[in-house]
Amino acid sequence: MPLRLDSREAGFEAAFRALVDDRRDSDADVSADVAKIIADVRARGDAAVAELTVRFDKVDLDAQGWEIPVAELDAALAGLAPDLRAALELAAVRIHDFHKRQRPSDNDATDAQGVRTGVRWSAVEAAGLYVPGGRAAYPSSVLMNAIPAVVAGVERLVMVTPTPGGAANPLVLAAARLAGISRVFRIGGAQAVAALALGTGRIPRVDVITGPGNAWVAEAKRQLYGIVGIDMIAGPSEVVIVSDGGSNPEWIAADLLAQAEHDPVAQSILITTSAAEADAVAAAVERQLETLATAVAARQSWDDYGAIIVIPDLEAALPLLDALAPEHAELMVDDPQALFARMRHAGSVFLGRHTPEAAGDYLAGPNHVLPTGRRARFASGLSVVDFMKRTTFLDCGAVGLAAIGPAGALLADAEGLAAHAASIRLRL
């Protein structure tokens, strides 16, 4: 049974605070294991990667091949059913178009003192994309991670994916080919992240690593952060749906289950102004679960982490949304723009009754790699800029330095940095 709350009832504040503070991330402390794996890859390179891959994935890289040949990627793409290929191509084009609009612009200006300053953006040289094996091996994730890197202008895009038993998901390979990835290595886990961050004989070092993974992958990224750039640490997925009582309960129920089916620790929350709608949605969820192919995970998520919150009016949704800072927020209300304008923290917002999150997951354009676990308070979804960096620049010239240099030298004196002061005064 999902949690059911009413914001007008006694005890709501405490119950809601518990919901906000509830952490669904894994508590497994794998930091020592991961540190050992990273040290091993650092010391022994390919030999360590090969041994760990035998141990964890039962794959002998030297016998079965470290890399999946481009011909196999091409074959996977050629083997897609035509309608599925068209859908994947539509997704790739739309994601590309959206991300092109996120390319940052440089700036360059000279002020009244004659001092020229600005910012120039450039792409990183190489990016590594982690694609999990098993349940979370989604072609859509390949597109969502690779295309921003391509749009940024990254020259070398390397994918790693574990292939326990030796088989790779053909859909994932097709998506990789479509996205412009040419090198795919059959490795996974913390050892794959370490190999990409440090470089080994066979695995090229990259500058940024993105993509979802299990607790070992996430911890390896955290430990290697600073040696390599990484995307946000990702936790279980979540959606908050706000409805004004005028939405189709079957649509809401399907959207709640679309989140829940991802993972037993995913979280689906409905906030509605109507107790009758709350009841109807709860019943629709139960009805849809009866025939849902993914009912096992969805049922567990909904029962353990689902919640329905009844509020008196839409105004009351705002503080709840901002406290939850959800990865996904669906605003199924008459005037979604008005509500959106007043909320602050969310990874991505889905406006109106005809915008199911699933459309955004696949092909609307915005990225589906988004901050989870209340991190939208400070973090953003994956973007072109995650594969770029800024270089600032300054040109004082003799005139500009004459104008601002004396004040700079005074500040250097005050900080006791004599050579800083001298480096300015020598030029005045």
CA-closest candidate to residue 195, choices 68, 42, 387 = 42
Dist. CA 369–CA 382, nearest whole Å: 5
77 binds its own copies (CB under 8 A): no
Question: Is 237 known to sit in a ligand binding site?
Answer: yes
Which residues are registered as beta bridge partners of 159?
A: 129, 184
Dist. CA 148–CA 365, nearest whole Å: 11
Interface residue with its own copies among 22, 62, 335, 415 (CB under 8 A) is 415
Cβ atoms < 10 Å from Cβ of 410: 12
Q: Which residue intervals of 156-248 are DSSP H helices? A: 170-179, 189-198, 215-224
Interface residue with its own copies among 18, 39, 78, 84 (CB under 8 A) is 84
CA-closest candidate to residue 173, choices 137, 208, 126, 211 = 137
- Count of residues of this chain found to bind its own copies when the rule CB under 8 A is applied: 121
Question: Is 99 known to sit in a ligand binding site?
Answer: no
**Footprint of its own copies on residues 26-45 (CB under 8 A)?**
31
250 a catalytic residue? no
Q: Which stretch binds its own copies (CB under 8 A): 51-59, 80-88, 180-188, 305-313?
A: 80-88
265 binds its own copies (CB under 8 A): no
Least Å from the CB of residue 151 to its own copies: 14
Dist. CA 66–CA 49, nearest whole Å: 10
Interface residue with its own copies among 212, 213, 229, 306 (CB under 8 A) is 229
Dist. CA 270–CA 356, nearest whole Å: 14
62 binds its own copies (CB under 8 A): no
Dist. CA 286–CA 226, nearest whole Å: 47
Nearer to its own copies, 50 or 266 (CB): 266
Q: Which of 219, 261, 328, 368 is catalytic?
A: 328
Interface residue with its own copies among 138, 185, 216, 305 (CB under 8 A) is 138
Here's the x/- map for its own copies, 371-410, by CB under 8 A: it reads as x---xxxxxxx-x-----xxxxxxxxxx-xx--xx-xxxx
Least Å from the CB of residue 60 to its own copies: 29
422 binds its own copies (CB under 8 A): yes
Which residues are registered as beta bridge partners of 123?
A: 388
Dist. CA 156–CA 150, nearest whole Å: 9
Question: Is 102 known to sit in a ligand binding site?
Answer: no
Interface residue with its own copies among 54, 87, 198, 215 (CB under 8 A) is 87
Interface residue with its own copies among 240, 258, 280, 308 (CB under 8 A) is 258
327 a catalytic residue? yes
Half-sphere exposure of 362 (CA within 13 A, CB side): 11
Identify the DSSP state of 159: E
Pairing, β 388-395 against β 307-310: unpaired
Cβ atoms < 10 Å from Cβ of 63: 8
356 binds its own copies (CB under 8 A): yes
**Footprint of its own copies on residues 285-314 (CB under 8 A)?**
288, 292-294, 298
Least Å from the CB of residue 26 to its own copies: 12
Cβ atoms < 10 Å from Cβ of 110: 13
Annotated binding site for Zn(2+): 259, 262, 361, 420
Catalytic residues: 327-328
Detail the residues annotated as belonging to a binding site for substrate: 237, 259, 262, 328, 361, 415, 420
